[in-house]
A and B are shown apart, each in its own frame.
Chain A
Amino acid sequence: MGLMQVDEQDVDDKQKRAASVKSAVDKFQLVPEFLKVRGLVKQHLDSFNYFINTGIKKIVRANDRLVSTVDPSIYIWFKDVRIGQPSEIVSGVSEKITPQMCRLSDTTYSAPILVDIEYTTLGSRSEKTIMQKKNATIGKMPIMLRSCCCILYGKDEAELGRLGECPLDPGGYFIIKGTEKVLLIQEQLSKNRIIIDTDKKGNINASVTSSTELVKSKTVIQMEKGKVYLILNQFAKKIPIMVVLKAMGMESDQEVVQMVGRDPRFSALLLPSIEECASLDIYTQEKASEYLEGKVKRSTFGSPSSNQEGRALAILRDVFLANVPVSNNNFRPKCLYVGVMLRRMMEAMLNKDAMDDKDYVGNKRLELSGQLVSLLFEDLFKTLITEAQKAIDIILGRPSRASRFDPTSSVLNKEIISHGLRRTLSTGNFDVKRFKMHRKGMTQVLARLSFIGSLGHMTRISPQFEKSRKVSGPRALQPSQWGMLCPCDTPEGEACGLVKNLALMTHVTTDEEEGPLISLCYCLGVEDLEVLSAEELHTPYSFLVIFNGLILGKHRRPQHFSNVMRKLRRAGKIGEFVSIFVHEKQRCVYIASDGGRVCRPLVIADKGISRIKEHHMKELSDGVRTFDDFLRDGLIEYLDVNEENNALIALYEGEGTLDTTHIEIEPFTILGVCAGLIPYPHHNQSPRNTYQCAMGKQAMGNIAYNQLCRMDTLLYLLVYPQRPLLTTRTIELVGYDKLGAGQNATVAVMSYSGYDIEDAIVMNKSSLDRGFGRCIVLKKYSAIRQKYENGALDRILRPDRTGPGAERVQILDDDGIASPGEIIRPNDIYVNKESPLETGGPINSAADPKDCKYRSAKQTYKGPEGETCVVDRVALCADELNNLSIKLIIRHTRRPEVGDKFSSRHGQKGVCGTIIQQEDFPFSERGICPDLIMNPHGFPSRMTVGKMIELLGGKAGVSCGRFHYGSAFGEPSGHADRVETISETLVKHGFSYSGKDFIYSGITGSPLQAYIFMGPIYYQKLKHMVLDKMHARGSGPRVMLTRQPTEGRARNGGLRVGEMERDCLIAYGASMLIFERLMISSDPFEVQVCRVCGLLGYYNHKLKAGICSTCKNGNNISTMKLPYACKLLIQELQSMNIVPRLKLAEA
């Protein structure tokens, strides 16, 4: 009976489970809603907005007073700061600017930084008046597009269109001097956290990188040969940790041992250190301080101020563990912090698992553009203040000061901030000496090759490690990356695994106010350390509470505490991004509210039952409920990587058990934007998805809605782009269906003509005739009408249409600039410009420009021969120096040719092997002729099953008229069509269930002896085209120095017979060929060699004889051929006092 009951229960349970699966709420709608609220590049925007709204105010508040050292009553007080509207001052009037204007006119999209100030002025008779000034400009801040102070903020599609902006463009970048710059996300190790790891020698280290507003330092506590030392930059040598503790006032060894823990194993480990300290004869604080004083690094420019109290103590207070605050010289918190560090080290010694993993995502912080700009701004603002102070002091120090003195007008140099920000963002070299930051390549020009490429660029995370290091750890896929960083999207080669990309739903936190959270913790029963003895630090039944790396105290009921904290968070009482993480092993509760943590939203579940019910989703689809409502109502919460460790997350609602705390929203969100394009990626071999992530960025297509109004240096567009027949949810979410980069080609998987080996594809000529793969290449050429020092100006002349060279000016308008729509050929002039001969010297404005002599500076087009290019657009604008800048866009339309590169969305690239007439192509029973033929050998080794399913799904989609889906892991939730249903659809429309058709040969007319797998696959045309690469030359230009042929296609260079080729020829014994290749065809030179001295002579044309300049006669001269480079070598050696002598023999 009992058994029966169990069975029944089991069955019941199963039924319930099954029912809940059926009733599982489709939570997919949350994803678009999330993206609506948070956006694709919301990390950047949030971070920048935080800086604009909070960060900048904090910085100014921290440095708000500028007081003259000469006269302290002269001051400038910055009362408030804000960012104005993006504008530009045109002839004294401030005009609003739009991003598109900046792109076209090569200016910076920036807004003035406005401050409210109070300051004193000195009248002519030295009377002081206190003045107020509102909205004074202290510089200009480059504005991130779509941030809260961008004019695009909150605009709808129509308004964006009116501003010349693409509504699908995500923003998140800057426009500096007309180029779009992305500040890459920087990955760093967490600041202010204890990290336990081993160094190269195997010593265990506990390190803390402290970072406060004032100091940034790194403290390392190391265990070497059983003894514990402190390593700090300011100390010349390693310091025994016991000495440090004693110097900080913890004189009793017993207390130290108690602090680390009563366990005898810990005491044993600590013993050698204590003994060492004793052997140094240090027992008191004074002795310890004295000892430390001796170890302080003698800096060459030591400041005298620190001498009074002892530099060692100052270092311990300000630099050592700088993140732990010291008030009233109370070093106890620092001692306890050291205690915790020691304890963690000891634990790691006894148990290797306690070691921290540096690659663990929870130990990483992402530095976003807002933080980086704020760092820059802080530096520049401080520079501004010191500069201004100096200037005031100089003015005040002047004995004869006659006129009024108004500090705001003269000393606040706006250019310091404007220029500093602009330069750093445009070069990407962050060189902030104040914060010891020297990093290169932080900004990159936004990749505008394809829409998805620019999106992917914005989610890229650049590493702090140098790429050349051959370490596998940081490159490996971390399990903690799940859902936060895309597992597929990483480049191949040296940066593999180091450069990462954010996943679709990742959010990066910004800093949050700490004060209220700390006091809340104390209210919730955290016992302050001050009231505890060292003994109690590590007593059982209590957990330490660590807030942002700072030990707050301990709590006896950690679970209860964390539950309450979480409840408060879900109720919206504390920030939604605060993470509470109970670390059972370390017996700590970690609370984090700092910026740069990655987190993602998850549905909260109670005992495995999702809190989101059908009616919630209904309300969402009715538009009554937004994503934020879900957050506010405690249905969804953000978890960061650490807190995920306390959660049991079910993939689907039905899979929840009693312990389940959270449920994933949609599994496909673990992929990023680039990987989201791949249909059925979970059926592919993993590296194929990685390859596609790299290739999707090279695919041609539509870039943006405003693509034809942009003036990019190089733009590739597809003439007839399509949206993929087999889409994914990500494609729809990011707008790839509106700005596609490829075409749906009917592919037959078969062998044909032999020109399809090695991944080459055979293309149908008629398809190409009808526009398949046709693309437009737009290139920018520009000319500037320069203004010179002496006031002279370049001039652009009306073309002379009669004289010699008239055919070269055909395309010019009467204004001397090529007219749009004209066909431009190589050597055609596109700007008929002349430059003045005299450009230097004083300004002679009086002189008539006609007197000036000019030389021709015609801009000629140097395109490849046989390519018909057209002038697409001509734009005139003023550049930064107010010169007239002329930009021409030259367009070239190309149809695919043999050698052009194509790729499907599964990392299967191939070049076009041959182009075959349609009548020779095979055709199906329904008269369908494929657009391209792919060799079946591409499948077995690549294992791209996803591509086959795409073919099936595409075919079913075409026949039933519905776009099919192939989202990652989407089969259970209905976001990917199953192969079974696809096959059913195929059968319903009279196709074979396997997608294989009965095909007739177009050449013989008979049926083929196999059924052919045929259907549509989305193909991308990649930017690599033969036309841009093919190169051959007979004779051509040579390098001046060596007289050898030039190198590279751009210089019409020769093809080198390199060392290995030479070796082959030597092995063959083809001496004449070597002779021909290496000398005759390269740099032959005739030299006169003296047979006596063996040196080179010269040929005297008057005497018609060779003469040796060393022997001073021409008696023993032989003429021979030599590579010019050899002659050069001989002469260069001679110039270094080495005499190479040639010994000639009859040949």
Chain B
Amino acid sequence: MAAAQEEKREEKKFSIWDLPDVPEKLPPHLEFARTRVQCNLDAPVHTESITYSGAYASMRVDNSVQLDFFQEKFRVEVKRLTKDDMEFDLIGIDPSIANAFRRILIAELPTMAIEKVFIANNTSVIQDEVLAHRLGLIPIAVDPRLFEYISENDSPNEKNTIVFKLHAHCKRGEPRLTVKTKDLIWLPNGSEYLLEGQNPDSSSSSKPKTYTSFSCSQDSLPEFANNPISTLPDITIARLGPGQEIEFEAHAVKGMGKTHAKWSPVATAWYRMLPEVVLLEDIEDEDAEALVKTCPVKVFDIEDIGNGKKKAKVARPRSCTLCRECLRVGEEWEKRVSLRRVKDHFIFTIESTGALPPEVLFTEAVKILEDKCERVFSELS
């Protein structure tokens, strides 16, 4: 209500002579353009964020970011949190920062994903490359922070590689077999396939050389002792007809989403600016009903204001999807309803693929941004 009143005051015409000589505040129309995106029927306006500290210098208003002010205003409100996704509000922040988090979440947070597949046998209809590609996209539920990156000359060891194997066979006379990710078996001791040129019979003192060189078993490590590494169980890898067989070993390594989307820890991460719906004038009776009816996401409600009169009110602005139907009710409605976005309030959504819970992903993203800032400082100093 208070906001609405404030809006009304803004809308009133004011004389240039009423302005103070030294304004401590921006004039309302500029303040509006600075803080809100106005979504008109044809196009949104004031979409850009004004970051230059001296943008309003001519009006003696300082536009620079002040830390204490930011600290005071900045808030994070978690609205919804489940195992795989979360929605939270980032309030009092510039779009560039919010976007930085989004970009880091998509492209720069490392995860583990299958990179190498050693196919021993594949008689299914699905080609080796396609099978490998599908395997790569399987999310692996393991904390990537426990692993290191593998570089080209590194030999795969327990610190940088996770090995899975799968052997599925559909016997003749049986119905078609669907191979799912739950059939992947984690090999904590590394690869079981011997390197070429190795004689399996020469089982002398040393272990036979395989495609990995694990110094110890991964399940002896404290992190994995009690929670074996797994994947999401119900993703179809392939379908086998009678007599077909798939046998392979898959090596997962750490990587980042910018190299390949399979390493992205999020299905997607995005934000939207907080919608703000304002009725610029009282909308009553039939008009109100028309307005309520027109909105597919029920932003508006009807309020009884006594003596049989009804008035429209904005009940759930947050659910506005910007379908702009309310502006299309009739002509002139663009002057009665105003759809806006608050420029410093972000509704952020993270959909995790399952490797890490979404809240951890976000804190990790913050850490990465922090690292980046520190790197800039250290490079500059």
Contact = CB atoms under 8 A, between A and B. Distances in A.
B99 A990 contact: no
Contacts of B268: 923, 927, 929
B303 interface: no
B323 A893 contact: no
Nearest to A1011: B43
Contacts of B273: 1007
Contacts of A1010: 43-44
Interface in B114-162: 119, 122, 125, 127-130, 133, 137
A765 B127 CA distance: 22
A820 to B, nearest CB: 9
B261 A1009 contact: no
A708, A991, A997: most-surrounded residue (chain B CB, <10 A): A991
B336 interface: no
A998 B107 contact: no
A874 interface: no
Contacts of A998: 39, 44, 322, 341
B261 A769 contact: yes
Contacts of B96: 1004-1005
Given A776-B127, A990-B297, A1009 B44 contact: yes
B130 A893 contact: yes
A719 B297 CA distance: 39
B226 to A, nearest CB: 33
A1005 B127 contact: no
A78 to B, nearest CB: 49
Contacts of A923: 268, 270
A882 interface: no
Interface string A989-1029: 11111000110101111111111000000000000000000
Interface string B240-269: 000000000000000001101110100011
Interface in A683-723: 708, 719
Nearest to A1003: B99
Contact of B296 (A770, A926, A988, A1007): A988
Given A927-B349, A998-B39, A893 B127 contact: yes
A670 B294 CA distance: 41
B103 A769 contact: no
Interface string A766-788: 10011100101000000000000
A821 B257 CA distance: 30
Contact of B125 (A708, A771, A991, A992): A708
Contacts of A997: 322
Contacts of B296: 987-990
Interface stretch (B22-30, B45-53, B59-67): B45-53
B44 A1005 contact: no
B102 A1005 contact: yes
B260 A1005 contact: no
B127 A891 contact: yes
Interface in B263-311: 264, 268-273, 296-297
Contacts of A919: 102-103, 106-107, 258
Interface in A956-1000: 986-993, 997-998, 1000
B94 to A, nearest CB: 8
B272 A1005 contact: no
A765 B107 CA distance: 11
Contacts of A1004: 49, 95-96, 99
A776 B137 CA distance: 19
A925 interface: yes
Interface in A828-879: 870, 872
A529 to B, nearest CB: 69
A839 B103 CA distance: 70
B223 interface: no
A732 to B, nearest CB: 25
A1007 B37 contact: yes
Contacts of B269: 927
A678 to B, nearest CB: 29
Contacts of A1000: 99, 270-272
B34 interface: no
B324 interface: yes
A530 to B, nearest CB: 72
Given A919-B106, A927-B270, A1010-B44, A1005 B98 contact: yes
B128 A1006 contact: no
B323 A1005 contact: no
B324 A992 contact: yes
Contacts of A870: 127-129
A925 B270 CA distance: 8
A769 B260 contact: yes
Contacts of B271: 1000
A956 to B, nearest CB: 13
B220 interface: no
B322 A925 contact: yes
Nearest to A778: B127
Nearest to B325: A987
A992 B294 CA distance: 12
Contact of A1006 (B95, B106, B107, B122): B95
Contacts of A769: 260-262
B328 interface: yes
B245 to A, nearest CB: 12
Interface in B303-343: 321-325, 328, 341
A987 B295 CA distance: 8
Contacts of A918: 106-107, 257, 261, 264
A917 interface: yes
Interface in B79-106: 95-96, 98-100, 102-103, 106
Given A769-B260, A893-B130, A918-B107, A991 B272 contact: no
A237 to B, nearest CB: 72
A804 B255 CA distance: 40
A90 B271 CA distance: 71
A923 B349 CA distance: 13
A770 B261 CA distance: 7
Contacts of A1003: 99
Contact of A1002 (B99, B130, B264): B99
B49 A992 contact: no
A926 B297 CA distance: 14
Contacts of B119: 821
Contacts of A1009: 43-45, 47-48
Contacts of B127: 776, 870, 872, 891, 893
B95 A774 contact: no
B321 A990 contact: yes
A517 B119 CA distance: 71
Contacts of B106: 766, 918-919
A1051 B297 CA distance: 64
Contacts of B321: 925-926, 990-991
Interface of A: 708, 719, 765-766, 769-771, 774, 776, 821, 870, 872, 891, 893, 917-919, 923, 925-927, 929, 986-993, 997-998, 1000, 1002-1011
The 5 lowest CB-CB distance pairs between A and B, nearest first, are A1005-B99, A769-B261, A990-B321, A927-B270, A766-B261
Given A776-B127, A988-B296, 19 more contacts: A765-B261, A774-B133, A891-B127, A918-B261, A925-B272, A927-B268, A927-B351, A986-B323, A992-B323, A998-B44, A1004-B99, A1005-B96, A1005-B100, A1005-B102, A1006-B95, A1007-B341, A1008-B44, A1008-B47, A1009-B43
29 contacts: A708-B125, A719-B133, A766-B261, A769-B261, A870-B128, A870-B129, A891-B127, A893-B127, A917-B258, A918-B264, A919-B103, A919-B258, A926-B270, A927-B268, A929-B270, A986-B323, A987-B325, A992-B325, A993-B328, A1004-B96, A1004-B99, A1005-B98, A1005-B99, A1005-B100, A1005-B102, A1006-B48, A1006-B49, A1009-B44, A1009-B45
Interface of B: 37, 39, 43-45, 47-49, 95-96, 98-100, 102-103, 106-107, 119, 122, 125, 127-130, 133, 137, 257-258, 260-262, 264, 268-273, 296-297, 321-325, 328, 341, 349, 351
